[in-house]
């Protein structure tokens, strides 16, 4: 730390992204990316846009907003594209939280919520998940705080249904409820249809998972006009050109090829069913995944040991040191071939344990 670092941030513990090692070629199942490339339409659109890179991107993201509005049956003033959904989440902390509206989120959820709260000096409460890692919706009814819920949740992979989330939104009319739907396309139920019913609902989504564009950094928030207006005030006070023109073009290209996205999601679900059954056969305990990853532990080997044994075999998964989930690993669903290799590696590791 330099002697110049602001007092405000000295105690900040930044978010740790999943590792991106370069020492050898790994099967990367640690950051919930898609194993499939973006649609050719997206690639072509981005490459055409590259020719105009001497110009600033459209700060209003007009064409992208129109494409998103058409996709979700909403108005273009009800959506705000951002630099990944991380950015819209940070904007939401900035716009909708303060001492009178502290943040509330689960103890086991997306690690960035706590970082954003601390970064912005916002008081927050972490609400413990139940022992089985499900959310007790009763904990959030009338909580009177700005609620952040990842649905489906990460890294637990478990989803609430729309009625359960709606109860939380309805019971907190004085606060915004942010529903982070980064993984919704893999089997969750979206709350987007509720945005016209509740002026305190913000839904965030991303192109990083189901739409194969993690490297392009594109996310968005959907909510009523007044919420989007507030978020725009934050955007225009930080970075008006937050979405670059190649990313914008690629995003529109992806939206023109929704059947490609849908078929990739179906493939992920098929591969998830396959690996879940195989893991259970090997004695693993899994949560009920509605995402592009599984969350698993095995009674014969610790989470850390399993992570290291897989790493040695060239397979990267995500292990968290957090006490409650230290026995688990979060494993991204890849191609069928990757899942077969994973299965064989796990059978080998677990088989070795059983001989001891």
Residues that bind ligand PMP (CB under 6 A): 84-86, 110, 150, 154, 180, 182, 206, 208, 214, 219
> Using CA atoms in the order 165, 169, 172, 178, what is the torsion angle rounded to 10 degrees?
90
Alpha-carbon span 326 to 140, nearest angstrom = 26
CB of 205 to ligand PMP, least distance (A): 8
CB of 84 to ligand PMP, least distance (A): 3
SS3 label, residue 226: helix
CB of 156 to ligand PMP, least distance (A): 10
SS3 label, residue 293: strand
- Enter the DSSP assignment of 210: T
Considering the complex, state which of residue 161 and residue 302 has its C-beta at the smaller distance from ligand PMP.
Answer: 161
CB of 188 to ligand PMP, least distance (A): 11
Considering the complex, state which of residue 188 and residue 253 has its C-beta at the smaller distance from ligand PMP.
Answer: 188
Residue number closest to ligand PMP, CB atom: 84
Residues 6+ apart with CB under 8 A from 154: 32, 109, 110, 182, 183, 291, 293, 330
Considering the complex, state which of residue 208 and residue 287 has its C-beta at the smaller distance from ligand PMP.
Answer: 208
Residue recorded with tokens 């909403």:
74
Alpha-carbon span 253 to 23, nearest angstrom = 34
Considering the complex, state which of residue 206 and residue 289 has its C-beta at the smaller distance from ligand PMP.
Answer: 206
Q: Are 295 and 157 in contact (CB under 8 A)?
A: yes
Alpha-carbon span 190 to 320, nearest angstrom = 27
CB of 208 to ligand PMP, least distance (A): 3
CB of 14 to ligand PMP, least distance (A): 14
Considering the complex, state which of residue 189 and residue 278 has its C-beta at the smaller distance from ligand PMP.
Answer: 189
Considering the complex, state which of residue 159 and residue 224 has its C-beta at the smaller distance from ligand PMP.
Answer: 159
Query: CA nearest 91: which of 180, 156, 160, 165?
Result: 180
């Amino acid at each position: 730390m330099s002697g110049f670092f602001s007092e405000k941030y000295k105690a900040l513990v930044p978010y740790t992204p999943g590792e991106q090692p370069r020492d050898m070629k790994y099967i990367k199942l640690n950051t919930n990316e898609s194993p499939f490339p973006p649609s050719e339409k997206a690639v072509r659109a981005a490459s055409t846009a590259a020719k105009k890179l001497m110009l600033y991107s459209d700060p209003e993201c007009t064409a992208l907003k129109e494409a998103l509005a058409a996709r979700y049956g909403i108005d273009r003033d009800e959506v705000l594209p951002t630099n990944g959904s991380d950015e819209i989440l940070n904007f939401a902390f900035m716009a909708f939280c303060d001492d009178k509206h502290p943040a509330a989120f689960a103890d086991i959820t997306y690690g960035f919520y706590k970082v954003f709260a601390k970064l912005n000096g916002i008081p927050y409460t972490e609400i413990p998940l139940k022992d089985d890692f499900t959310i007790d919706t009763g904990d959030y009814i009338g909580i009177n705080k700005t609620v952040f819920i990842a649905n489906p949740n990460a890294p637990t992979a478990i989803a609430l249904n729309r009625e359960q989330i709606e109860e939380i939104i309805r019971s907190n009319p004085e606060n915004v409820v942010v529903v982070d739907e980064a993984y919704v396309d893999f089997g969750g139920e979206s709350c987007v249809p509720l945005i016209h019913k509740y002026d305190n609902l913000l839904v965030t989504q991303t192109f990083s998972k189901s739409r194969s564009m993690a490297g392009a950094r594109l996310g968005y928030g959907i909510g009523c006009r007044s919420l989007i207006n507030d978020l725009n005030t934050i955007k225009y006070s930080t970075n008006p050109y937050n979405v670059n023109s190649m990313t914008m073009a690629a995003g529109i290209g992806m939206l023109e090829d929704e059947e490609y996205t849908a078929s990739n999601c179906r493939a992920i679900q098929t591969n998830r069913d396959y690996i879940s059954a195989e893991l259970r056969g090997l004695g693993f305990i899994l949560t009920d995944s509605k995402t592009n990853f599984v969350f698993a532990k095995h009674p014969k080997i610790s989470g850390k040991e399993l992570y290291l044994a897989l790493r040695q075999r060239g397979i990267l998964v995500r292990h968290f040191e957090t006490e409650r989930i230290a026995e688990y690993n979060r494993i991204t669903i890849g191609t069928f071939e990757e899942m077969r290799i994973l299965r064989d590696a796990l059978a080998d590791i677990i088989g070795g344990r059983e001989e001891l």
